[in-house]
Amino acid sequence: QIDWKMLADRAWAARKNAYAPYSKFFVGAALATESGEIFTGCNVENASYGLTICAERSAIFAMVAGGANRPRAIAIYTPTSKPTAPCGACRQVLREFGRDLMVLSFCEGGGELTTSLASLLPEAFGPENLG
Ligand code: THU
């Protein structure tokens, strides 16, 4: 019952807020929580390049800052010809909150990739492994 069209529309809109003067690679993400709230994110680059944060992590941080912590689905838009899956760092940050997260990647070229975080990050280390 995820409204993927709506979530993809929100990710598409969020890409416009991306701060990507260095890569010019404008990424948008939108996540839906278990309770149906929507949070969006975009990549935020830095003159000290390595401090850049991806759209996916930005969306997770917006969710936590907004008082929620149970993401159910995330849609990610990249300006590419083929859909791209989240980077390794983002997979681990998504995993902290979204063990059963559903992931939709879509792109300028029109293709889509539907997958799950469990597929993207098998045998993951997570909060349940501590203490
Ligand atoms: N980026 C994202 O925001 N998400 C991804 O899934 C891949 C990479 C950003 C980071 C950087 O601002 C730019 O895209 C190029 O790597």
pLDDT > 90? residue 98? no
Mutate to test the pocket of ligand 1, among 15, 23, 26, 27 (most ligand atoms within 8 A of CB): 27
Residue 131: per-residue pLDDT = 84
pLDDT > 90? residue 104? yes
**Burial group, residue 88, by CB count within 10 angstroms (0-12, 13-18, 19+):** exposed
Helices assigned H by DSSP within the chain: 4-14, 55-65, 88-97, 117-120
> Whole-angstrom Cα distance, residue 125 to residue 88?
13
Strand 71-78 to 28-33 pairing: antiparallel
Average pLDDT, the chain: 98
Mutate to test the pocket of ligand 1, among 25, 45, 90 (most ligand atoms within 8 A of CB): 25
Provide mean pLDDT across the span 42-49: 98
> Whole-angstrom Cα distance, residue 126 to residue 24?
33
pLDDT > 90? residue 83? yes
Query: What are 65-81's pLDDT values in tens digits?
Result: 999 999 999 999 999 99
Share of the chain above pLDDT 70, in %: 100
Q: Is any atom of ligand 1 closer than 6 Å to the C-beta of 23?
A: yes
